[in-house]
Structure 1
Amino acid sequence: MKRTGGRSMILNQQVPSLPIIVHHPYLSLWLPAKELYGACIEHWCGLKRSINGHILIDGKVYRFMGVEGGKDVIEQVGIDLTPTSTSFYFENEQISLEVKFTSPLLLDDLELLSRPCTYVCFKVTSKDDQVHDIQIVIDMNQSHVQNGESLKPVIGETLTYETYQLGFLGQVQQNLLAHSGDGVGIDWGYLYMVLPNQEDVKGKIDSTQHLNEVRSKILNCEAKEDQGAGIVLHIDLGKVREEKEVYSLITYDEMLAIMYFNRALPPYWARDGKTIIDVIAKALDEKEEVLSRCKTFDKQLEDETDKLLGESYRVICTLAYRQTIAAHQLIEDEKGEVIFLSKECCSNGCIGTVDVSYPSSPLFLLYNTELLKGMLRPIFRFEALPIWPFKYAPHDVGRYPYATGQVYGLSEEGKYIQGKERIIEGGIGIYPNYTHYPKEKMIYDEHYQMPIEECGNMLILCAAICKCEGHTEFVKPYIEVLEKWANYLVSYGIDPGEQLCTDDFAGHLAHNVNLSLKAIIGVASFGVLLDEAGEKKKANQYKVVAKQMSKEWTDRARGKKHTPLSFTEPESWSLKYNLVWDELLELNLFDEKVKEQEVEWYMSKMGPYGVPLDSRVTYTKSDWSVWCAALTTDRSKAQKMVDAVARFLDETPDKVPFTDWYETVTGVHHLFRNRTVQGGLFLPLLRKYISKKTYE
């Protein structure tokens, strides 16, 4: 089965893990298998989140989702992945079944984007031209409302409204925003399964303390070990011969989403007092319109990426889309401004990390710059507090879901209180509220900061926003602090000392040539901002300095075949992904020959799954690899870069959400998964729109 007029994406293309229900870091469920019945659904970090699905055909039970319940399965014959939906196709001699999950993450509609509702649509058709009695049963257990495996006391209920019924489940004892951490689930709020009234369809929802008993009774199968409470959705489609469609809704009410600078704030959808019941009703009312909009967007993005760099580029952007967005949380602050906070998955769970926003930015520059501004506002706010006395930009504003002050690079004093170690890192403890600390309390270790990295990132991102919007309204309140950061780059950027950069997993590095690039482009970016703001004389001063820095960089870095990793090691090399902004921001600091020479060198270092990050290692980063594909106008070279990423997805042995850090020879992933940085894969598409250049 295939989409009408579309492509069936994954019959010959494998991906390691498929998005199922993805909205934000706590509601992010993935399938680590190719078959929907091949594995238990998991939270992005690997926690089991059981969802089981069965279809009864003339009373005979077949499992199509999950690993619990009936033994017999109905064979899966296809998968279809689009930017907003994942569909599975099943059939036997009697019927065909389509199960489609749509998380409508449309970036141009913040209200819809924040709505945590996934549509689950079922289509059943008779294959043998006979009438069949069809029932569908879906169940979700209490793992969705707790962090950890031990069963907690939960409460649930079934409610009937005029146009739908629902079942909900949540812990008896609720501590909102009860913990902070990286690979953790939620244990506050309520899970909801919703069944709307539909013509010629009977249905029942049961929120039960004894999930296995209820499921076993319906399916007439053996009840295994106690799974505690759960919700069971039982849909009776009656007699089916022609295609019949039915749908349900799965959602989660966090109640509170983020502790933001001393305020416990709800998700964006609840900012004006809306309840989850309001949101459910809206989602049901707008179902046809929303799904139509998703279909239109999916086709547009697929067509654009396919035309630009072929099937491989379409595949990687399609898989990256929902992941990138859903590793953020959208809120509104007390001033009514949009705040869009990333979770730095698999890296201590830092919130609002600047060098995560930087690589993710292309997706949001393409579709909604307001969201990128929502990433930067928290950084500007924290920077202005007494606890941050430095002349350079911060790294983050806390650890998810607590935006209460940077936690990266804490000093020993910051890690210890009254002589006792604060057992937080790697756990689920909550850091102190650093936003209250006085300037005399030095809690940060400068050796573990990223001064040039984050200053450059903030300046470049501000310039990119203003270029895409055509004005400088966003940066006007921040010109003074941006100038401070630009001056830092002028003073220290041309030949960086021993500093960390965004690739901090590789350790400290002095004389970093790529980091120097970022500094130069950051200085030039500030010149662009001043120019657009009408400060022509001052703008020219920074532009002249940036040009002088770029000349020195070229004289020192340009070799016969490539530029080095470090100014002091001419035979070394690295991916110079920061160069892309020279063209995107129309800075014209560097000769095009330098960029083409770099890409030619990368071709000589290409492994099965890409070009290593630098000459020290065999691993790479997917985001930086694809950025380098935008350094050239040679289509064949760019396609080789993106083909390697798609090949990795097809052949990696690790069944995790789209990792950005993996080995170029074996395809084994390194730690990272479900990270927002995959928004960087959209940079070649962004390039097409803002620099008007394409591949030849």
Structure 2
Amino acid sequence: MRSLTLCTGLGLFAVQAVVGATSWTNTPFNPPSIPLAVRTPYLSTWLPQGQGVALNSEWATHWGGQTTAWTGFVKVDDESYSYLGAASVAGSSFTQATQKSMTFTSTQSIFVLSAGPVDVTVTFLSPVDATDFVRQSIPMSYMHVSVASTDGATHSVQVYSDISGEWASGSDSWDIEWSTTATDILSHQYTLVSPAVYEEISDRAQYGNWYYSMLNGAGATAQIGRDITVRGGFLNNSVLSTTAKDNNFRAISDSWPVFGLAKDLGKVGSTAASVTFAVGHIRDPAIKYVLAGNAKQARSLYFWSKYSTANQVISFFLNDYNTALATANALDKQVQTDATKISDDYAGIVALSIRQAMAANEITISKNAFGAWNTSDVMYFMKEISSDGNVNTVDVVFPAHPIFLYLNPKLGEYLLEPLYRYQASGLYPNKWSVHDMGAHYPKADGHNDGTDEAMPVEESGNMLIMALSFARATNDTTQIKRYESLLDQWTQYLIEDSLIPAFQLSTDDFAGQLANQTNLAIKGIIGIRCMAEISKLLGNTAKYTNYSSIAADYVTKWQVYSASKTGAHLTLDYNDDASWGLAYNLYSDVRLGLKLFPQSVYDEQTAWYKTVINQYGVPLDTRHTYTKSDWSVWTSAIVTDTGLRDQFISTLTAYVSNGLNNVPFSDLFDTISGKTAGFQARPVVGGHLALLLV
């Protein structure tokens, strides 16, 4: 993570602390930004909200804010309506459909709009299927458009949609080229004329192919060309031209080429008729990974083990929609059931977090010496979105890891594997855990010079806690046995530096370095105890006894060092009596059932937080008024009063629905103003599932 200065976000609306009100209903609330196609670090398109933005009144954007134009029209009895995007088409007329509702779940964002005598339901589905690695690794997302009559009569209906070349790069000046496939699918493909493998501009991949596709058949047409030409052709003729060819490959911003698809649904009555579109970004290789000896390995997305061409995977994806929807509905129901046991507010927070957290990750495999896919060599890679783009940042994986414990703990092991394997190679020179696998995604080059961002206690403690967590959850000790010496090495470091941590950074590095951090010491001590538990799992009783004894002794001493002499609370740093902060690292003690810290600590902190909570939550610590959403949820899980737990959650809901922000769920925000403080779309929101695990 990187340091930053506090800045304000832009304006938005929601249901709780209201700045404005929409003319449509929002369920469960109106978030800062609504996920549309949110599937990978590069396929990540949102509808910024503010006080409320209709689906057909603004352009969708990449999580970083750049426009990813996505357009939709529907013709009803030759009358044209827009349902998606903010297009204006010279020489053609249309009316904006009227948005009636917006609903989001863990996997879907659903809009209902009225277009004259019909309702148009637009469902954006970004599948989350954490146990099916083929499906989970396909970098594609659905838009399903369903139309039904509302007046009892039948109506002639045609549906159109396009995406623009803006999806292809972080700069509109780059040239693109394109083609169309017409088999069992109608699929537009476009790519940069001069791609750069593994490179990015503004967090957008500078290589790979973009696809916009639908199933082929009666009434399906496709066209590529200038935006006003293609859109105007549909609006004026109800169909796209199959003969007009635009082969003038050019810059994204030169006459704005778009990739249009249309479907004539025929006569539509009260029984809905529909069409499904798929948008995707397929690149190969996906990740560059450093091997022993400093060799570099090209790794590919897991789905290639089953499909040999892009058209094959697109065909599967489109034909799989009904299965994908059923799977998504089942997950949505499970999450809703589990989360509402805490509260309705909590269910909304979790639902908004899942796609965002999962879309930061990609499942990869390698090839063996004979060129065959090696599906036993699975590695999962995470981009530290927004804050600096590192690969598998340990202190970003750590706050996110509850989502993997909930959905599939094996994914957690596969996230740790690149870190373990790299450090076991001997390329990394430091005795503590590495901070990340590479300075910028998708290049997992390591840090052979040892000059990665130093968080020695933080990352060593994180790795030990996660090692035990995933081994227990999978009931598999293979990984911890393979890397036992590394885990032991990090434990030895924690014994040296965790009780009285030296001047250093913690995961909250934006707040700066600090010595004697109370909360950081908690993590280090828990890390030592986790190594004791790991030793027990591996049958080493002597190590278990030794490390358990050290951790217990450190807790006794820590209680003296960390206690404020002027108030009943833990300090932020030793001997700074007026200071305090969120002791979120206690969460691992609770979740793992270690009972390492005495009950009195939890009771004292519970009483204290009641006295310092602001409108939008408890500040992270006394240095600033901002807080972190992930750590707030973790803290809510360790307080001993359910009323306070619920207050942590309700204030978080108030923030995320207050209408003052318009970026994908920011985990850093001010507890007084309710405005975001610089982060957005980060995978750490996976930590919002923490309450589902205790």
Which residue does 2:219 correspond to in 1? 202
Q: How far off its partner does 1:555 sit?
A: 2.4
Higher relative contact order (CA 8 A, sep 6+): 2
Instruction: Using structure 2 for the length normalisation, give the TM-score.
Output: 0.88
5 Å-filtered alignment, 1:242-641, equals 242=270, 243-261=272-290, 262-271=296-305, 274-307=308-341, 309-333=342-366, 336-406=376-446, 442=449, 444=451, 448-559=453-564, 560-641=567-648
Task: Report the residue type matching 2:383 in the other structure.
Answer: K
CA contact (8 A) 1:652 1:668 kept: no
Which residue does 1:156 correspond to in 2? 178
83-92 vs 226-235, which moves further: 226-235
Q: How far off its partner does 1:284 sit?
A: 2.9
Structure 2 vs 1, CA of residues 180 and 241 (structure 1 numbering), >3 Å: closer, same or farther?
A: closer
- Does the residue aligned with 1:475 lie in a helix, a strand or coil? helix
In the alignment, the residues of structure 2 paired with residue 237 and residue 605 of structure 1 have an alpha-carbon distance, to the nearest angstrom, of 58
CA contact (8 A) 2:60 2:70 kept: yes
In the alignment, the residues of structure 1 paired with residue 345 and residue 657 of structure 2 have an alpha-carbon distance, to the nearest angstrom, of 10
In the alignment, the residues of structure 1 paired with residue 268 and residue 492 of structure 2 have an alpha-carbon distance, to the nearest angstrom, of 71
Q: How far off its partner does 1:606 sit?
A: 1.1
Report how many aligned residue pairs link the two structures. 634
CA contact (8 A) 1:133 1:237 kept: yes
Which of 97, 100, 117 does residue 77 from structure 1 map onto?
100
Task: Report the residue type matching 2:266 in the other structure.
Answer: G
Task: Report the residue type matching 2:298 in the other structure.
Answer: A
In the alignment, the residues of structure 1 paired with residue 28 and residue 100 of structure 2 have an alpha-carbon distance, to the nearest angstrom, of 12
Structure 2 vs 1, CA of residues 71 and 134 (structure 1 numbering), >3 Å: closer, same or farther?
A: closer
Which residue does 1:44 correspond to in 2? 63
Deviation per residue, 1:516-567 (Å, 9 max, x gap): 0001000000000001111011111000000000111122223452100011
In the alignment, the residues of structure 2 paired with residue 555 and residue 79 of structure 1 have an alpha-carbon distance, to the nearest angstrom, of 52
95-104 vs 267-276, which moves further: 267-276
In the alignment, the residues of structure 2 paired with residue 631 and residue 271 of structure 1 have an alpha-carbon distance, to the nearest angstrom, of 43
CA contact (8 A) 1:169 1:230 kept: no
CA contact (8 A) 1:471 1:532 kept: no
In the alignment, the residues of structure 1 paired with residue 582 and residue 64 of structure 2 have an alpha-carbon distance, to the nearest angstrom, of 29
Structure 2 vs 1, CA of residues 653 and 452 (structure 1 numbering), >3 Å: closer, same or farther?
A: same
Q: How far off its partner does 1:71 sit?
A: 5.6
- Does the residue aligned with 1:337 lie in a helix, a strand or coil? strand
Deviation per residue, 1:258-278 (Å, 9 max, x gap): 111212222221246632122
In the alignment, the residues of structure 1 paired with residue 319 and residue 146 of structure 2 have an alpha-carbon distance, to the nearest angstrom, of 20
In the alignment, the residues of structure 1 paired with residue 606 and residue 189 of structure 2 have an alpha-carbon distance, to the nearest angstrom, of 54
In the alignment, the residues of structure 2 paired with residue 41 and residue 17 of structure 1 have an alpha-carbon distance, to the nearest angstrom, of 10
Which of 152, 157, 171 does residue 134 from structure 1 map onto?
157
Task: Report the residue type matching 1:280 in the other structure.
Answer: I
Task: Report the residue type matching 1:315 in the other structure.
Answer: G
- Does the residue aligned with 1:651 lie in a helix, a strand or coil? coil
Q: How far off its partner does 1:237 sit?
A: 1.0
- Does the residue aligned with 2:152 lie in a helix, a strand or coil? coil
Which residue does 2:678 correspond to in 1? 671
CA contact (8 A) 1:9 1:81 kept: no
In the alignment, the residues of structure 2 paired with residue 210 and residue 483 of structure 1 have an alpha-carbon distance, to the nearest angstrom, of 61
Aligned-residue CA RMSD in angstroms? Answer: 1.9
1:235 aligns with 2:251: no
472-481 vs 614-623, which moves further: 472-481
Which residue does 1:414 correspond to in 2? none
Which residue does 2:693 correspond to in 1? 686
Which residue does 1:56 correspond to in 2? 75
In the alignment, the residues of structure 2 paired with residue 195 and residue 549 of structure 1 have an alpha-carbon distance, to the nearest angstrom, of 61
- Does the residue aligned with 1:289 lie in a helix, a strand or coil? helix
Q: How far off its partner does 1:257 sit?
A: 1.1
> Which structure 2 residue ranges, 5 or more long, are not aligned?
1-23, 238-252, 291-295, 368-373
In the alignment, the residues of structure 2 paired with residue 291 and residue 443 of structure 1 have an alpha-carbon distance, to the nearest angstrom, of 46
Which residue does 1:187 correspond to in 2? 206
Deviation per residue, 1:16-59 (Å, 9 max, x gap): 00110111101111111231113211111111100011111111
Q: How far off its partner does 1:227 sit?
A: 4.1
Task: Report the residue type matching 1:102 in the other structure.
Answer: L
In the alignment, the residues of structure 1 paired with residue 196 and residue 474 of structure 2 have an alpha-carbon distance, to the nearest angstrom, of 41
Q: How far off its partner does 1:372 sit?
A: 0.9
CA contact (8 A) 2:424 2:483 kept: no
CA contact (8 A) 2:48 2:61 kept: yes
CA contact (8 A) 1:331 1:338 kept: yes
In the alignment, the residues of structure 2 paired with residue 298 and residue 30 of structure 1 have an alpha-carbon distance, to the nearest angstrom, of 20
Deviation per residue, 1:268-294 (Å, 9 max, x gap): 212466321221122233222221111
Structure 2 vs 1, CA of residues 596 and 39 (structure 1 numbering), >3 Å: closer, same or farther?
A: farther
CA contact (8 A) 2:382 2:391 kept: yes
- Does the residue aligned with 1:39 lie in a helix, a strand or coil? coil
Which residue does 1:213 correspond to in 2? 229
1:168 aligns with 2:189: yes
In the alignment, the residues of structure 2 paired with residue 38 and residue 629 of structure 1 have an alpha-carbon distance, to the nearest angstrom, of 38
In the alignment, the residues of structure 2 paired with residue 488 and residue 94 of structure 1 have an alpha-carbon distance, to the nearest angstrom, of 69
In the alignment, the residues of structure 2 paired with residue 11 and residue 373 of structure 1 have an alpha-carbon distance, to the nearest angstrom, of 35
CA contact (8 A) 1:530 1:536 kept: yes
In the alignment, the residues of structure 2 paired with residue 176 and residue 557 of structure 1 have an alpha-carbon distance, to the nearest angstrom, of 50
Which of 8, 12, 16 does residue 32 from structure 2 map onto?
16
In the alignment, the residues of structure 2 paired with residue 180 and residue 174 of structure 1 have an alpha-carbon distance, to the nearest angstrom, of 10
CA contact (8 A) 2:298 2:366 kept: no
In the alignment, the residues of structure 2 paired with residue 608 and residue 299 of structure 1 have an alpha-carbon distance, to the nearest angstrom, of 31
Task: Report the residue type matching 1:235 in the other structure.
Answer: K
- Does the residue aligned with 2:205 lie in a helix, a strand or coil? coil
CA contact (8 A) 2:134 2:306 kept: no
- Does the residue aligned with 1:106 lie in a helix, a strand or coil? coil
Deviation per residue, 1:345-399 (Å, 9 max, x gap): 1222111100001000001011211211121111122223454221100000113
Task: Report the residue type matching 2:117 in the other structure.
Answer: Q
Task: Report the residue type matching 2:61 in the other structure.
Answer: E
Deviation beyond 6 Å, 4+ runs, structure 1: none
311-320 vs 63-72, which moves further: 63-72
CA contact (8 A) 2:302 2:363 kept: yes
Which residue does 1:412 correspond to in 2? none
> Which structure 1 residue ranges, 5 or more long, are not aligned?
1-7, 407-433, 436-441, 688-696
Deviation per residue, 1:573-595 (Å, 9 max, x gap): 00000001112222111112211
Structure 2 vs 1, CA of residues 652 and 498 (structure 1 numbering), >3 Å: closer, same or farther?
A: farther
